[in-house]
Structure 1
Amino acid sequence: MDVLVCGAGVAGAALAYWLRHHGFTPTVVERAPRMRPGGYATGLRGEALDVLDRMALLEQAEALGLRPGDTGMADEYAAPPAAIRAGDLDVLRDELAGLLYQATRPEVEYVFGDSIATLEQNADGVRVTFDRGRPRRFDLVAGADGLHSHTRSLAFGPHERFVRHLGIYTAVFSVSSRLGTEAGGRGYRRSGKAAGVLSTRDGARVRAALHFASGPLAYDRDDVKQHKRIVAERFTDEGRPVRRLLEEMRGAEDLFFEANAQVEMDRWFSGRVVLLGDAACCAAPASGRGASQALIGAYILAGELAAGGDHAQAFASYEREMRGFVEEHQQLGREGTDRFFLGTLPQEEPGRTTVARPRLVRLKDYVPGFAVERP
């Protein structure tokens, strides 16, 4: 089948990999003119590492790992420490997406600088019109286009019906390597505000993050200058370390500015359209599980489509396999957000015991076999 995948991030590129692996013909359309730069650390936990291993990409992902102990303020709350196991991996989100893109681009069609305009479903497929390209027909459409998914809006309804704001905004941007060395992974926190700096293992790439508490804000998602003004206004009275970050932010070309939010939906598919990753079930950055959900969901969705039966059965099976896993991670996201600006980690709170949650996803061995031959 021909499958249109909307979004070239972690979820979209991983789905394209597994669809191609199982003999489908995926096409990935991405609104940005190229792979999106920037973004903060993302954690790879449990079965997500197994998925990368089955893609023969685990060693390359490990080489992208962040400097041990230098994951900045945000990562303190990215996952409760009791839920993190030995061997877990933290990487920059854009570097993980880039790794998946490089692994798929020889056999997958990527269309950058375009997006879906309309979807028209019938019994035989989906007719898709684009903002720039010619109309095309696909058997299925998968929305992997993030928290503000346009695919979700077209197939399920307006953004406001599904997105739950959690009260924090985050700005992430590159800074000079000198600042990374000076910060050494230390963070800054006060009531309603936080900052952190992280580095890759070789120190070549350094990112800063500024977080602030706020109710929903009205702004243009494409106006980077406006984003910088919003952040600068929130931190204008802080001390010199934060002022230096603001100075770096003014010249940054890769600013990522986003609300911490969750997506809550009763169903992730409608007819021949299915959602994946943050578009379907964003758990919030404070869960530390977004990229893991994306990788695991892509593996399961493509595998269920390849396992036989019609697309409706495959979509239902994919959702059934993922639901408990997602609910657990969304709970982690809410807990992490609630405690983000506190001075103690969750397991340090008096009278509180944090217990590592069980893993709820068992990776099936879908035909036609793994990408990596195993003894």
Structure 2
Amino acid sequence: MTKPKVLISGASVAGPALAYFLHRSGYDVTVVERASLVRDSGYAVDFRGAAFDVLAEMGVLDEIRGHDTKMRGTAVVDGSGTEIGQLPTETFAGELEVPKRELTRILHEATTGDVAYVFGDPITALTQHESGVAVEFERGVAADFDLVFGADGVHSNVRRLAFGPRADVLRHLGMSGVGFSIANYLGLDHTGLLRPGQGTTVYLFSSADSDRLTVSLSFATSSPEWDRRSRAEQEQAVRSAFAGQGWEVPRLLDAMTDAEDFFFASSCQVHLDRWSCGRVALVGDAGYCAAPTSGMGTSQALIGAQALARQLAAADADPETAFAAYEKELRPYVTDNQDKGYQTAVMFGGAAEPPSL
């Protein structure tokens, strides 16, 4: 009997996890990724709740625990750097925190022997027909698949091709920010410093690499348009938002220009009436991003991948039945996480009529 062929777009967290469970259920799985290699970038990610059950079922929990950053909490400081409070470890690190590059590597290694990975070749077109989906690629030969899954993040290419423009489903939470790393000149040791302000937030921490200090500079914005601007424009937006501020801010702004791992992103949620369209379905941030402020993105991706594969197995690969059951099971959990993401964004100065830049 021929195995059903499925294509997954995205090789970060949700994609490899879904690939693992679908392969186990008897699918012929291909994962396509826009990046040219397994991504080795990104900062720490954390796990909460039922995500541990997913990792255990995949047989990777012990290995992932071995990369625990062992964060010990975050001090809240005022504008002059004086400590005014403490946040517990789980505020930012969840129940377990590991470097993103290690998680991505482990998930890839757990699946690469059973799943075909294609890097550097994004999907350019999806055409659904009665028995499957015709897929065109930027470089590779077009092919037909029984099912296609978008696990390609908040700005999902699959979602755009199957559901329409991203602006129709993105909900901006009033915050944007830049991240980068520098030498750990503050000597932080598995701890963080958080300096909230009027429309701006500085978060500094050192975890897995004691020699490096991770910097996050967040500020209020009125739309996610800055994600698509040049780095020079993004840097200027950050400088404008933090202009005149004291403490470590001037030094951090100077260091930003030379940072090789500069990353800019806006805090957004994805809200869709449906997470599937015919034989195409979304999983993780592509379908229901709860925003970084929720602290649930990684856990939600793992739990969603497991649920989607389980419902497909239960429905004997009938996509309409499986996708409906998947959404019914997961949507209350997602809604709760998105509420948390919104409330945290408000607490840190976003989502409440932010000023335009």
When the two structures are superposed, what TM-score results if normalisation uses the length of structure 1? 0.82
Preserved contact between residue 39 and residue 173 of structure 1 (Cα < 8 Å) = no
CA distance in 2, matches of 1:128, 1:241: 50
AA at the equivalent of 1:27: T
Preserved contact between residue 220 and residue 226 of structure 1 (Cα < 8 Å) = no
1:312 aligns with 2:315: no
- How far residue 46 of structure 1 moved from its aligned partner, in angstroms, is 0.7
Count of aligned pairs: 335
Preserved contact between residue 7 and residue 30 of structure 1 (Cα < 8 Å) = yes
CA distance in 1, matches of 2:39, 2:259: 14
Preserved contact between residue 171 and residue 258 of structure 1 (Cα < 8 Å) = yes
Q: 1:300 to 1:236 in 2, by over 3 A?
A: same
CA distance in 2, matches of 1:294, 1:19: 15
AA at the equivalent of 1:34: L
- How far residue 83 of structure 1 moved from its aligned partner, in angstroms, is 9.2
Preserved contact between residue 38 and residue 256 of structure 1 (Cα < 8 Å) = no
2:6 equivalent in structure 1:
3
Q: CA RMSD in A?
A: 2.6
Preserved contact between residue 180 and residue 197 of structure 1 (Cα < 8 Å) = no
Larger relative contact order (CA 8 Å, sep ≥ 6)? 1
1:263 to 262, 270, 288: 270
CA distance in 1, matches of 2:328, 2:69: 33
2:237 equivalent in structure 1:
230
SS in 2 for 1:245: helix
When the two structures are superposed, what TM-score results if normalisation uses the length of structure 2? 0.85
1:35 to 35, 38, 43: 38
2:115 equivalent in structure 1:
108
AA at the equivalent of 1:174: S
- How far residue 184 of structure 1 moved from its aligned partner, in angstroms, is 4.2
Preserved contact between residue 72 and residue 187 of structure 1 (Cα < 8 Å) = yes
User: Where does 1:279-290 land on structure 2 (aligned, <5 Å)?
Assistant: 279-290=286-297
Give percent identity, aligned residues only: 44
SS in 2 for 1:186: strand
Preserved contact between residue 42 and residue 289 of structure 1 (Cα < 8 Å) = no
- How far residue 134 of structure 1 moved from its aligned partner, in angstroms, is 1.4
* Unmatched 5+ stretches in structure 2: 77-86, 351-357
2:199 equivalent in structure 1:
192
1:58 aligns with 2:61: yes
2:260 to 210, 230, 253: 253
Preserved contact between residue 35 and residue 119 of structure 2 (Cα < 8 Å) = yes
1:69 aligns with 2:72: yes
Q: 1:59 to 1:206 in 2, by over 3 A?
A: farther
AA at the equivalent of 1:229: Q
1:43-102 deviation line (CA, Å, top 9, x unaligned)? 3111001111111111222222223224687xxxxxx97997x98112333432232122
User: Where does 1:121-270 land on structure 2 (aligned, <5 Å)?
Assistant: 121-179=128-186, 181=188, 184-201=191-208, 203=210, 206-219=213-226, 221=228, 223-270=230-277
- How far residue 266 of structure 1 moved from its aligned partner, in angstroms, is 0.8
CA distance in 2, matches of 1:30, 1:151: 12
